[in-house]
Amino acid sequence: MTREEYCAKIDEAIGQIGFEGTFIDCEPYGNGHINDTFVVRCMLEDGSIIRYILQRMNHETFKQPEQLMENIAGITGFLKKKIIQNKGDVKRETINIIPSRDGKTFYRDSIGSYWRAYLFIENTTCFDMVEKPDDFYQSAIAFGHFQKLLADYPAKTLHETIPNFHNTPVRFRALKEATQEDVLGRVKEVRDEIAFVMEREEFTHILMDLHKAGKLPLKVTHNDTKLNNIMIDNATGKAICVIDLDTIMPGFSVNDFGDSIRFGASTGAEDELDLTKVNFNLSLYELYTKGFLEGCNGSLTATEIDMLPVGAKMMTLECGIRFLTDYLQGDVYFKIHREKHNLDRARTQFKLVSDMEKNWAEMHDIVGKYR
C-alpha cells in the first residue's frame, strides 16, 4: 500500500467513526509496535478541543479482531458500572470506546483493515521504564485494583485472543520441537541455555497442574502488565487507568503479577548484553508485592497469594523460553534489531530466573509479610 493509499484509509476511518465535533487534524502517536496509533483532534461547538486515540488494529497478530473488541467492550462496560458505584470518573478510570457511525465497536475499511477509537485520557503520562520507585508501586496498586474490580466478571466468557498465550508447558514443548528441528543449525551454540530450561521442566507445570486440580481459578487477566500500560495522573502522581486491553483473556492472576515483576524488578534492559548489569531487585519486588496486594484488597484466594513468587519466576522463565524458541526458529515472531537479539533477550530472562532462585525464601517471606 502506498503512502497516499494508506492516508486515504485513515481518512475513510475518521469519516466512519462517531467522533464528536468538527475534525481538525490527525497525527501519529506513541511508539507501539503492534497497532498503528494516531491522535485525532476535533473542535466542539463551544470552541474547546477534544482528542481521541485512533488505531489500525494489527489483524496479523490478532486473528479475530471482532472477538478482541467484544472482550474489550464487555470488560470496559463492566468496569464503568463498578467505577460509577465507587463514585469515580468513567472518562478517566477506564478506556471509552468511540463507536463507528453504524454503532459497532470498530470500523472495517474497504480493504479489510480494522479501526477503532478511544477517548483520549488527558493530563496523564505513561512511562516505558521505572524512573522512580513510586511509579512502579502505583502500577502495582492499579493492576491489583484491576483484579479487584473484575473479580466477579465471568472470565470463561472471554475469547482467547491468542491461544495458549501463557500456557508454559505448551511453550516448553515448542522449545523442544525447535531444538529437535534445529532449522538453522543454531542449537550447538545455545546448549547451555537449552539445558537451563530442560532442568526446569517440572516447574513449568506447577500452575497448570494447580488449575487442573481446581486449586487455582481462572480470572480476567491483562497479560501485558508493563508499567507503560498504566496511565498516571500528572497532578497527583497516582495511577488512574489500565490501558491496552488487547490481550485481555482468561488466565491466572499470578501471571499478571509475575509479568510486572519480570519487567519492572530487573536492574537491566530486556536485551542487555552485559549480564552483570542484570539482577533481580528484591526491594522493587517487595514494593510491587505490597502495592499489588493492597490493590487486590482481599480478592485473591490463599493459593493465589501463595503462588505469587511462582508467577514471577514462571513469567520470566516463559519469556526466556519464547525468546530462545524464536531464535532457534529464525527470529520469526519478535522483531530484532541486531544479530542474536533474541538470544540476548533469552539470556537476560534466564539470569533473572537464577537470581530469583537465589532469593526464593525471601520472595515467599515478603508475600507472607503483606498477605
Q: How many residues does the chain have?
A: 371
Question: Regarding the domain delimited by 133-370, which CATH topology (the fold level of the hierarchy) does it fall under?
Answer: Aminoglycoside 3'-phosphotransferase; Chain: A, domain 2 (3.90.1200)
Instruction: Kindly report the pTM of this predicted structure.
Output: 0.92
**How many whole angstroms separate alpha carbon 116 and alpha carbon 290?**
36
**How many whole angstroms separate alpha carbon 55 and alpha carbon 267?**
33
Question: Regarding the domain delimited by 3-121, which CATH topology (the fold level of the hierarchy) does it fall under?
Answer: Phosphorylase Kinase; domain 1 (3.30.200)
Q: How many Å separate Cα 260 from the centre of its chain? A: 9
pLDDT of residue 5: 65
So where are the chain's domains? 3-121, 133-370
Residue 120, C-beta contacts closer than 8 angstroms, at least 6 positions apart: 39, 50, 51, 52, 53
Nearest one of 289, 274, 271 to 339, comparing CA atoms: 271
Does 2 score more than 70 pLDDT?
Answer: no
* Banded model confidence at residue 127, pLDDT cuts 50, 70, 90: confident
Q: Residue 107 pairs with which residues in a beta bridge?
A: 115
Average pLDDT, the chain: 94
* Banded model confidence at residue 128, pLDDT cuts 50, 70, 90: confident
Tell me the average pLDDT across 218-242.
Answer: 94
**How many whole angstroms separate alpha carbon 227 and alpha carbon 292?**
13
pLDDT of residue 335: 83
* pLDDT tens by residue, 321-353: 999 999 999 998 888 899 999 999 999 999 999
* Banded model confidence at residue 137, pLDDT cuts 50, 70, 90: very high
pLDDT of residue 60: 74
pLDDT of residue 245: 95
Percent of the chain with pLDDT over 90: 86
Residue 133, number of CB atoms within 10 A of its CB: 14
pLDDT of residue 158: 96
Does 1 score more than 70 pLDDT?
Answer: no
pLDDT of residue 59: 76
Please calculate the CA angle 238-248-316 and round it to the nearest 5 degrees. Answer: 80
Q: Residue 245 pairs with which residues in a beta bridge?
A: none
pLDDT of residue 32: 66
* pLDDT tens by residue, 21-71: 999 999 999 776 678 899 999 999 999 999 999 999 987 778 899 999 999
